[in-house]
Structure 1
Amino acid sequence: MKLMDIYLHLKPDLEYVETWLDKEVRSKQKDLENAAIHLLKAGGKRIRPVFVLLSGQFGQYDREKLARVAVALELIHMATLVHDDVIDDSKTRRGIPTVRSEWGNRMAMYTGDFIFARALSMLSELPYVQIHQLLSKSIVRMCEGEIEQIRDFYSLEQNFRRYLRRIERKTAILMEVSCKLGAIVTDASQSVVRTLGRYGHFLGMAFQIVDDILDFTSTQDKLGKPAGADLLQGNITLPVLYALHCTQSGQALRETVRPNMSRTEADQAIRLVKESGGIEYAKKVAGLYLDKCLNELAKLPAGQHRDSLEQIAKFTASREY
């Protein structure tokens, strides 16, 4: 099953969100507008807006409020992608040139700032102090996670706990917030807000681990970037950590993974990770988070929207892109 099949019953609301996204990236400064539109047209899974819309079904559904939150969170996600591409010196994302590749690093940074400011402006019109407090704290933690990732580039002595904390801040937090804000803005009960937040957190952890697995197992056509791109950038993910610390491949891998690796050396490292059982180990850990996610979901009222959240979770564990 494709993700868009799961979204089918949300099509009118998602089209509304998409139209609003297009409006929010417009600017009188045409270079800025062109760069922002370029990023928007690259597409994406729109999973954060979907979480907002589905979580809002457990309260007093309000399309306008939910769409505003959904658009703002997707804009924040887009802004982080632009900044990530500058940090990672990425040439493509989702198979098309990045903003930094087309317009340069300076334009990319300001494009990210512009999109982020648009998101904050939208949310400022919502009279929910809890939303602003929750989101601001989460963004601080996301920034800390990104700095930790940069610090840990090519660090072969990091442990599993540090990796899990990093992906929590890098990915899980924004998914958790998306679920919580959809519930908060529709005045759902605090117990529902907490349950949806835990669902988003555990799913975000599984999502990022699967992402890290795909860096070794998928193809450039599916990922929109070369296989092993994370490893070439020095991003030490769960399959690599397992190979480094738990197998006989560890020493050979330590001698291979370093700054300025060649493509041949990266391919050798990928082979070592695959042979070590690191991929299988990472799949098991992702499965544990998926189980936790589904356990939280079982606490919510049954119905189509809970079923959709369950389908998204199961898709996450089996996706190839």
Structure 2
Amino acid sequence: MKILDIFGTLKKDIDYVEQRLYSSIDVDQKLLSETSLHLLKAGGKRLRPVFVLLGGKFGHYDLERLLHVAVPLELIHSASLVHDDVIDDASTRRGKATVKSKWDNKIAMYTGDYIYAKALTLVSKLENPMIHRILSKALVQMSIGEMEQIRDFFNTDQSIRNYLLRIRRKTALLIAVSCQLGAVAAEAPLEISRLLYRYGYNVGMAFQIRDDLLDLKGTEKQLGKPPGSDMRQGNITLPVLYALQDPALREELLQELANIHAKDGSADTSRAIQMILGSDGIQKAEQLADRYIEKALAALHHLKDNKAKKHLQEIAYFVNRRAY
């Protein structure tokens, strides 16, 4: 099941968001237009715009107003992926060549900068200062998260808490504010926007943990990139950290990770993956993802019953069982 199959009632609005995404990056500079379009055409789940629209259902739903939040948030997410691919030296994303591999690092960085700038231009059309405060704080935290990930590349001594704080900043915050800002833009009561933030934060944490699990358990066809890419790039994820806590496995796994580090992105990770899959690291990570989903659903419990609430529940279940 694809994520958009969950809520056909929003399809028309989501299609309109998609149209506005493409029109928002239109620019006379030919190369910049080409690279930006290449990124958007790679697709994606468009989760963040969907969360904005669903958050808006708890207030005065105005699609044109919500577009000034939904489109910028997806652009910000897309821009962060362009920069991530440069940092990670990633050649493919979602089965297609990245901007950095099709062009080069400099072009990719400027493409990301342009898309960030367009996002901020669009959201500036909303005069509510609360929206701008929430978004600017999230962007600061996302930047800190990126720096922390670079700092911790191949750091096998990092704590679980350190990992969780990093994914909070890199992934969960943008999903959380997508839910929150949809409600704020729709002038929903403050308590509702706070509950939606809590829901989005917990779904975001589970989403990233599941992403890290899929990098080890998925196939190249499912992932659009080779399994074990996180390890090749030096990103030590939750299942790996849990596996390293096993005294019977730790030294051998540390040696495998050292070998991967030495090969500088070209290593065979199959042995390390098998070791992790054979540990209890997978089960522990899955259990933590389950707990985050439970917290997300608990936040929804306090919201009024409507189709939007039902869709948010279905998305939470989808996130926790997804295979791509």
TM range (shorter): over 0.9
For residues 247 and 63 of structure 1, the distance between their equivalents in structure 2, rounded to whole angstroms, comes to: 55
1:12 aligns with 2:3: no
In the alignment, is the contact (CA less than 8 A) between 2:68 and 2:125 conserved in 1?
Answer: no
Structure 1 equivalent of residue 281 of structure 2: 278
Structure 1 equivalent of residue 307 of structure 2: 304
Shift of 1:130: 0.6
Structure 1 equivalent of residue 294 of structure 2: 291
Write the mapping of 1:155-234 to structure 2, written as runs, cut at 5 A: 155-234=155-234
Shift of 1:7: 3.2
Tell me which of 247, 260, 274 is aligned to 2:262. Answer: 260
Q: Give me the CA root mean square deviation.
A: 1.1
1:106 aligns with 2:117: no
Shift of 1:248: 1.4
Shift of 1:268: 1.1
In the alignment, is the contact (CA less than 8 A) between 1:20 and 1:71 conserved in 2?
Answer: yes
In the alignment, is the contact (CA less than 8 A) between 1:13 and 1:67 conserved in 2?
Answer: no
For residues 276 and 6 of structure 1, the distance between their equivalents in structure 2, rounded to whole angstroms, comes to: 34
Shift of 1:9: 1.2
For residues 228 and 300 of structure 1, the distance between their equivalents in structure 2, rounded to whole angstroms, comes to: 39
1:91 aligns with 2:91: yes
For residues 303 and 244 of structure 1, the distance between their equivalents in structure 2, rounded to whole angstroms, comes to: 44
Shift of 1:2: 2.6
1:50 aligns with 2:37: no
- TM-score (normalised: structure 2): 0.97
For residues 281 and 287 of structure 1, the distance between their equivalents in structure 2, rounded to whole angstroms, comes to: 10
> 1:105-156 CA distances to partner (integer Å, 9 max, x unpaired)?
1110000001110000001110010111111111000010111011111101
* Count of equivalent residues: 321
Runs of 4+ in 1 over 6 A off after TM superposition: none
Give the letter aligned to residue 56 of structure 1. Answer: G
Shift of 1:247: 4.3
Give the letter aligned to residue 17 of structure 1. Answer: V
For residues 101 and 264 of structure 1, the distance between their equivalents in structure 2, rounded to whole angstroms, comes to: 19
In the alignment, is the contact (CA less than 8 A) between 2:240 and 2:276 conserved in 1?
Answer: yes
Give the letter aligned to residue 104 of structure 2. Answer: G
Shift of 1:79: 0.4
Structure 1 equivalent of residue 154 of structure 2: 154
In the alignment, is the contact (CA less than 8 A) between 1:82 and 1:112 conserved in 2?
Answer: yes
Structure 1 equivalent of residue 116 of structure 2: 116
For residues 80 and 146 of structure 1, the distance between their equivalents in structure 2, rounded to whole angstroms, comes to: 9
Shift of 1:263: 6.0
Shift of 1:68: 1.7
Give the letter aligned to residue 174 of structure 2. Answer: L
Residue 249 of structure 1 aligns to a residue whose secondary structure is helix
In the alignment, is the contact (CA less than 8 A) between 2:232 and 2:269 conserved in 1?
Answer: yes
For residues 238 and 137 of structure 1, the distance between their equivalents in structure 2, rounded to whole angstroms, comes to: 26
Structure 1 equivalent of residue 127 of structure 2: 127
For residues 322 and 230 of structure 2, the distance between their equivalents in structure 1, rounded to whole angstroms, comes to: 18
Structure 1 pair 51–294 and aligned structure 2 pair: CA distance change class (3 A): same
